[in-house]
Structure 1
């Protein structure tokens, strides 16, 4: 199933495809196709090429550097990046903290940070979750105490994605313990090179080192790095999470994984027939495809609302839940399809230049690590259980 595009939108799709074909490094493309880990340069190089094209921030208002695309064009762009096997756009700067800065930040903050986010001269990471404060984020304990024209920050953040590469981190910190938990939280922008910050990697079940713990020990942060008002960080955090959850839907990425699954089905055999000819298997694939098509329609609706000036609301929770369910269903079918080959993955033996990476066919080499990596999608951005509570309260009125 595919959207029917106008002639103008189809021309735009072809323009994006030509850009990817001309600008994407072939080795980086092959890494993405096979599911191999990317290094920092892979991400930075690709983002800078999008920046040079004027396409680095499709969600930004034109006055801050956005391209002024329609919702359909934004959707086409996201989809073609995924289908073209480009590195994913690191969302923490462009899609998450930037909207907070241009919506709630000072003129000085906009002038200082937005151009460097747009050009990817600064890599950002997210300082929200803490040990014991994940789904119950408002219980966070990292403290920021005012000392003249600085805050002194002490505490720990965890599950911090790609913090090992980051130049900056946006943090929720506790500036007041006297009232309700949510009312004592503030939103700080912190330079990762500040003395007192240390990063410890956490190896995940797929063998990757993508997430980290970040420790703050008497870290001095200028008061000018406070976004908006002190004590209003919870409001800004919810605004940011709406943008994050909409992005988690990742329709384009799921379409690419679905196409990969169909390729696997053409090669893997069940008895005397391929899985592509197996009625039961194909019914399950078709069901996921139907759900993905419905998800795509919802995402376009959310983008249209955003284009009218409406920030993501509770529909972001629906998109997050269904997007994750579709992603995980596809990876489950892929692992089932490759069978015993899924057991034989050893990331330290992978060689992007090898004719037969890993053990078995190349399409099977990363089925297991991709499956394991996408398990965490049920939790980040607010667990799916929490999203159901949000929907029950704000949509159903329960």
Structure 2
């Protein structure tokens, strides 16, 4: 535990990877934890909410790392802030585990086949409860035991009630292409493999990191679950319920702010990460966009490009523009582009010429990004 606590000075962290040794205790925690700029902002939000003694629910895109943040903060509270912590996790396919951390009294233990009643049976009730993988119904069904949680990472949406005055929802945004490029480079993946993985995963870190043979399968499963009458939900924050699985495809991010990241204060970050009016939902998987193309009007991709610009995500803007052209060609609509010749000397003034062309036929071939590009 001492080696883990030694590296948990989150106030001194910068963008980049770090070895934390948490994997020795929680086997699914990454051996090399990549700290992105959004993580640094969430650290500030987390500390402000802890000082205010508020309850926090991490929401957002599945596969964005919400659970790993709860694990990280559980160790931080235990080993740095010297609080007694209980980390209770519900892991898909493995059941529930419970980890007890008490650095002051040097008591550490875990139970691999745990049940919620094990929390209730703890003699000392003075602990911070951190939950991962449980949802709103779990909390309601075991209210006396679970409602006291300090942190919760939920795999689904978490509705807010009028009397939840001590509860805050904090978004964990989807991953940008640049951050996923950094992870791929660390794993020494070829550039084409990184491109192929992002083609399917979009900003979903878990999918991006999954075995290649499962990547397309999991994306197809989510696509096939989308019905025509709920496809419009894919660009909103709302609805559908778990049976529609729209949260698996739509990914939540935060509207880009004009201020420099270094100039941001905690009040600004609280407004962005806690205020849903600042959140934007989009599809970032290019494969999903193409497969859902028959459900999407060309105007969808225009809106997606605008959202990419608001998010400050160049990769998403590229995806939106390319698919906008595909959609116009599919619908046999005239496409007009404003083009200019590159001139290194003219960096501020350019002359644009209108170029119109019409699609005579369209193709959608290939099994991966490279084959799609070759077909185009």
Could you tell me the TM-score, scaled by structure 2's length? 0.26
Q: In terms of Rg, which structure is larger?
A: 2
Higher helix share goes to which structure?
1
Higher strand share goes to which structure?
2
